[in-house]
Structure 1
Amino acid sequence: MQPNPAPTPPNMNHGGHEMFDSHEVLATFISVLDQYLIFDQYVKDQELRTILYRQHAFITDLYNICVEAFSTGEKPSHSTRVYKMQQNNNTVYGLTPGQPKKPFTSANEVNDQGVSGYMLGLIKSTGSLLGMTAFEMTNPVLRRVIADSVPNFIEMAYEIFLYQNKRHYYQVPQLTPQDMNQMLHSFAPAQQPNQFRQ
Structure 2
Amino acid sequence: MPFGAHEALEVHEVLTAKVCMIDHFLQYEMQASDPTLKDLIRRHRNSALRNYNELVSYTHDYTGVVPNEVQFSQVASPDTIQYGLRNPAPVTPIGAPTTQLYDEQICRAVLHSHKNSAKNNMAASLECADPYLRQMLMNTANTANYNAYEVFEYMNARGLYQVPTMRDHTAKTMLHSYQPF
- Cα deviation for residue 180 of structure 1 reads 2.0
Equivalent in 127, 135, 141 of residue 132 of structure 2: 141
Q: Tell me the equivalent position of 1:154.
A: 145
- Decide whether aligned partners of structure 1 residues 82 and 140 sit closer, same or farther in structure 2, where only a CA change above 3 A counts: closer
State the match for 2:52 in structure 1: 63
After TM superposition, the score normalised by the length of structure 2 is 0.89
Contact 1:32 1:122 survives alignment (8 Å): yes
Structure 2 Cα separation of the partners of residues 121 and 151 of structure 1: 15
The percent of aligned pairs where both chains have the same amino acid is 25
Deviation at 1:177, TM superposition (A): 2.0
Query: What residue number does 1:6 align with?
Result: none
Q: Give 1:30's match in structure 2, choosing from 19, 24, 29.
A: 19
Aligned-residue Cα RMSD (Å) equals: 2.1
Mapped partners of 1:162, 1:84: distance in 2: 16
Runs of 4+ in structure 1 over 3 Å off: 77-89
Question: Partners of 1:123 and 1:87 in 2: how far apart?
Answer: 18
> In 2, distance between residues paired with 1:177 and 1:32?
39
> Unmatched 5+ residue regions in structure 1?
1-9, 191-198
Q: CA deviation at 1:182?
A: 1.2
Q: Could you tell me which residue of structure 2 aligns to residue 99 of structure 1?
A: 89
Residue in 2 aligned with 1:128?
119
- Provide Cα deviations, 1:151-171, integer angstroms capped at 9, x if missing partner: 111100100111111111110
C-alpha offsets along residues 11-40 of structure 1, whole Å, 9 cap, x if unaligned? x2x001211111111111101000101112
The structure having more radius of gyration, on CA atoms, is 1
AA of the residue aligned to 1:121:
H
**What TM-score does the superposition give when structure 1 sets the normalisation length?**
0.82
